[in-house]
Amino acid sequence: MKERLQKLLAREGLGSRREIEGWITAGQVKVNGHVAQLGDRAGDGDRVRVRGKPVRLSR
């Protein structure tokens, strides 16, 4: 099931949801090679990168 990107990344301990929203707005988050936008969702099988580094999403 896909969830909001900032919620998933916050759960992974990368930062607060508000902090991650700032990264998304600044274009520092990509999903499947595309720059993420606020409100984007991600889930199993999606490749997420934050500031150029891959992030593994756990369930």
CATH code for the domain of 29: 3.10.290.10
Q: What is the pTM of this model?
A: 0.89
What is the Cα–Cα distance from 27 to 51, expressed in whole angstroms? 9
> In which band, very low, low, confident or very high, does the pLDDT at 50 lie, cut at 50, 70 and 90?
very high
Range of the domain at 39: 3-55
Q: Give the contacts of 52 (CB within 8 A, at least 6 positions apart).
A: none
Structurally, how many domains does the chain consist of? 1
Among 35, 7, 2, which Cα is nearest to 21's?
7
pLDDT exceeds cutoff 80 at 20: yes
Mean pLDDT for the stretch of residues 29-48? 96
Mean pLDDT for the stretch of residues 15-25? 97
Mean pLDDT for the stretch of residues 6-35? 97
Q: Give the contacts of 58 (CB within 8 A, at least 6 positions apart).
A: 11, 12
Task: Report residue 27 as tokens.
Answer: 């274009």
What is the Cα–Cα distance from 4 to 19, expressed in whole angstroms? 14
